[in-house]
Amino acid sequence: MNEYLRDDALRHQNFKFNMTSLILYQGQVIGYFTLLADLIEIKKLNMYDYNKIIFKSPFKTLPAVKLARFAIDKKFTNIGLGTEILSRILLSIYDKSNYIGIRYVTVDGFAKAFNFYTKNGLIPFKKEEQKLNKINKIIKKDPEKTISLYFDLYNYKKFLMLLMPYYI
Ligand SMILES: CC(C)(COP(=O)(O)OP(=O)(O)OC[C@H]1O[C@@H](n2cnc3c(N)ncnc32)[C@H](O)[C@@H]1OP(=O)(O)O)[C@@H](O)C(=O)NCCC(=O)NCCS
């Protein structure tokens, strides 16, 4: 993750391939995340979400934003910072979805971060389902194996309406 920030992030950003934001604490970089536009095929959603959307959407693909990279400095992990920052990222993407159509947030996460993402409301894509019953084995054997997940901003809207009706 550090290598990406050092070697590639600025170049990618200059080409508008993706955008990286730094997380600062007392003037020091303690993490970063990278976002880019994405598109998902609705047939790749899990069965429940697919059945929910298939009759509503005239489109086979729907717009999304991908959280391509997300890292917190080891010194600051496991104190709830990742959860807090992820919720701010989701809220800021939700804000943008009031101006640009965005239905989902997607993540190609490392297996070792799978529990972190699912605890924070992300759902694995259908193709990942067979990996789920051996997730602990995968985390042990290949912690950086990619697992793709998504977050539905429409459900988030309902959640925000309940929790923060003044915000909507
Ligand atoms: C994944 C990552 C961003 C999570 O950040 P984090 O700051 O550690 O996240 P949190 O502290 O909110 O949550 C991490 C764990 O701490 C626990 N936790 C949350 N708040 C806590 C608190 N106040 N005290 C103790 N533990 C806490 C959570 O339950 C979570 O447990 P889990 O591993 O079982 O999910 C970070 O570990 C990281 O940078 N990893 C390396 C890069 C990476 O894997 N990125 C994701 C792939 S793109």
| Spans of all domains in the chain | 2-163
Secondary-structure percent of the chain, ordered helix, strand, coil, rounded to 5: 45, 30, 25
Atom of ligand 1 nearest to the CA of 144: 44
Q: Mean pLDDT throughout 12-26?
A: 97
Give the E-state strand segments of the chain in sequence order.
19-25, 28-41, 61-72, 104-110, 123-124, 146-152
Cα(58) to centroid(ligand 1), Å: 38
Q: Is 44 in the pocket of ligand 1 (CB under 6 A)?
A: no
Q: Is 115 in the pocket of ligand 1 (CB under 6 A)?
A: yes
Distance CA 12, CA 8 (A): 6
Give the pLDDT of residue 31: 96
Question: What is the DSSP pairing of strand 123-124 with strand 146-152?
Answer: antiparallel
Model confidence band, residue 85 (pLDDT cutoffs 50, 70, 90): very high
Record the tokens describing residue 167, joined without a space: 């915000």
What number of other Cβ atoms are within 10 A of residue 80's Cβ? 9
Cα(108) to centroid(ligand 1), Å: 16
Task: Enumerate residues 6+ apart whose C-beta is below 8 A from 135.
Answer: 111, 114, 147
How would CATH label the architecture of 2-163? 3-Layer(aba) Sandwich (3.40)
Distance CA 140, CA 155 (A): 32
pLDDT at 1 over 70: no
Asked whether the beta carbons of 48 and 56 are under 8 A apart, the reply is no
**Whether the model pTM is above 0.75:** yes
Least confident interval from 79-93, 108-122, 146-160: 146-160
